[in-house]
Amino acid sequence: MECVRKVCDDLYWVGGNDHRLALFENIHPIPRGVSYNSYLLLDEKTVLFDTVDWSIGRQFLENVAAVLKGRDLDYLIINHMEPDHAASIEEILLRYPNVTVISTEKGFLLMRQFGFDVEKMEEVKEGDTRCFGTHTITFVEAPMVHWPEAMVSFDITNGVLFSADAFGSFGALDGKLFNDEVNFDRDWIDDARRYYTNIVGKYGAHVQALLKKAATIDIKMICPLHGPVWRNDLGYILDKYQHWSTYEPEEKGVLIAYASMYGNTENAAHVLATKLVEKGMHNVALYDVSNTHVSQLISETFKYSHLVLASVTYNLGIYPVMHNFLMDMKALNVQKRVVGIIENGSWAPKSGSLMKECLDEMKQMSILNEELSFVSSMNDANRNEMDALVDGILDSMKDA
């Protein structure tokens, strides 16, 4: 049976949800599932905005047919060619052979690469418009948000922005399509941040370029390719994107990420957290890198102003899971954080200097002078260094 939602006059959500997929892009855990959003406009012409991942293809095709109610599909606009949205293009072409596909030059290049044989195509570029009856759509190029071919489409008639991956989130919709049908700040923001930071986080400058273009148009509603549709409180998510894309922290607070083999480095992390809280800094989050997925660590790194990395030395290097976190931070362009270092090592502590070398390769990372280095386990001799680190973190917050 079809499972659709009306978005606004003439526009329907015809996407679907996947609760079976464990790893998005085969790398990021999605315990709350994911939605693949597609939208169908019924005007004098019928226009489908993007398709869906093949995993929900059957539901999607049923949805499209149900909303069309026997009408033919005239246009398919492809804003983004990544297969989680484009995998069902071929089936649309087979079922609706009269359809004309609209996309960017690079979008059509990727269609050929993925093996889709498109006969009727219209290439569009920045600022082009198409009128489908009542609704006029303008196309805005959005390269690297999140692939080079990406564009967004804006309905000039009603202010609906089809934003591709931008403003999306992990998490299945489960019937609740709109942001005002969920408690986004309680139930969705962590997945939205984890989605953005791990999928698009590297491309902050490109997201900034898109946000600047978005500021020039009167957006009433945002229809992303994943997660809820935004129909009010747009300022909330735009403000989050402003922070994330400029790598500015959302909150003054401390993320403590520790790598511990036998609990001694973990003990140092707990002592640090306790002393910070005792001194009034309650916004402290503590994670064991060995049992926290790196996508979560990256997301939290984007959230907090301060980061403390506590690592045991392993094979005269950084503990491998901590090293992987640092490599991911660099790959995703993490910057502008104040960082504290704790190192441990039973005979040759090295992890501190090596972590600093990694951090030095990132932009605008401010490493605190107060470092804590200990051998095997913390003892009375380390109290002063620990207290100095706590004070160093708190003092740097006053400056911020």
Q: Which span sits near ligand FEO by CB under 6 A: 71-79, 82-90, 319-327, 361-369?
A: 82-90
Q: Which span sits near ligand FEO by CB under 6 A: 76-84, 215-223, 269-277, 382-390?
A: 76-84
Minimum gap (Å) between residue 101 Cβ and ligand FEO: 18
Q: Judged by CB under 6 A, does residue 110 bind ligand FEO?
A: no
Q: Which span sits near ligand FEO by CB under 6 A: 78-86, 115-123, 239-247, 269-277?
A: 78-86
In 74-228 the beta strands, taken as DSSP E runs, fall at 75-77, 100-103, 121-123, 129-131, 136-141, 151-155, 160-162, 221-223
Q: Judged by CB under 6 A, does residue 78 bind ligand FEO?
A: no
Letter string b/e over residues 186-205, b meaning 16 or more CB atoms within 10 A of that residue's CB: eebbbbbbbbbbbbbbbbbe
Minimum gap (Å) between residue 195 Cβ and ligand FEO: 9
Binding test (CB under 6 A) with ligand FEO, winner from 165, 300, 328, 343: 165
| Single-letter amino acid code for the residue at 117 | D
How many chain residues bind ligand FEO (CB under 6 A)? 9
Near ligand FEO in 363-392, by CB under 6 A: none
CB-nearer residue toward ligand FEO: 225 or 257: 225
| Burial label, 263 (beta-carbon count in 10 A; 0-12, 13-18, 19+) | exposed
Task: Output the CA–CA distances (angstroms, integers) from residue 177 to 20, 53, 180, 238, in the order listed.
Answer: 19, 18, 9, 19
CB-nearer residue toward ligand FEO: 35 or 296: 35
| Single-letter amino acid code for the residue at 384 | N
Matching residue, tokens 């855990």: 29
Q: Judged by CB under 6 A, does residue 194 bind ligand FEO?
A: no
User: Pairing between strand 75-77 and 28-29?
Assistant: unpaired
Near ligand FEO in 254-313, by CB under 6 A: none
Minimum gap (Å) between residue 145 Cβ and ligand FEO: 9
Minimum gap (Å) between residue 205 Cβ and ligand FEO: 17
Per the DSSP assignment, residues forming a β-bridge with 161 are 154, 222
Minimum gap (Å) between residue 146 Cβ and ligand FEO: 4
Minimum gap (Å) between residue 171 Cβ and ligand FEO: 13
**Measuring CA to CA, which residue among 359, 367, 371 is closest to residue 325?**
359
Q: Judged by CB under 6 A, does residue 191 bind ligand FEO?
A: no
Minimum gap (Å) between residue 68 Cβ and ligand FEO: 24
CB-nearer residue toward ligand FEO: 171 or 253: 171
User: Pairing between strand 34-36 and 16-18?
Assistant: antiparallel
Rounded distance, CA 347 to CA 227, Å?
50
Q: Which span sits near ligand FEO by CB under 6 A: 79-87, 247-255, 312-320, 355-363?
A: 79-87
**Measuring CA to CA, which residue among 36, 328, 359, 22 is closest to residue 201?**
328
CB-nearer residue toward ligand FEO: 96 or 195: 195
Q: Judged by CB under 6 A, does residue 146 bind ligand FEO?
A: yes
* Residues with Cβ within 8 Å of residue 81, at least 6 apart in sequence: 103, 106, 107, 110, 111, 114, 147, 149, 150
Binding test (CB under 6 A) with ligand FEO, winner from 43, 74, 84, 191: 84
Q: Are the CB atoms for 382 and 372 separated by under 8 Å? A: yes
Give the residue at shortest CB distance from ligand FEO. Answer: 82
Q: Are the CB atoms for 193 and 237 separated by under 8 Å? A: no
Minimum gap (Å) between residue 149 Cβ and ligand FEO: 10
Binding test (CB under 6 A) with ligand FEO, winner from 18, 55, 60, 85: 85
Near ligand FEO in 223-262, by CB under 6 A: 225-226
Rounded distance, CA 78 to CA 164, Å?
9
- Chain contacts with ligand FEO (rule: CB under 6 A): 80, 82, 84-85, 146-147, 165, 225-226
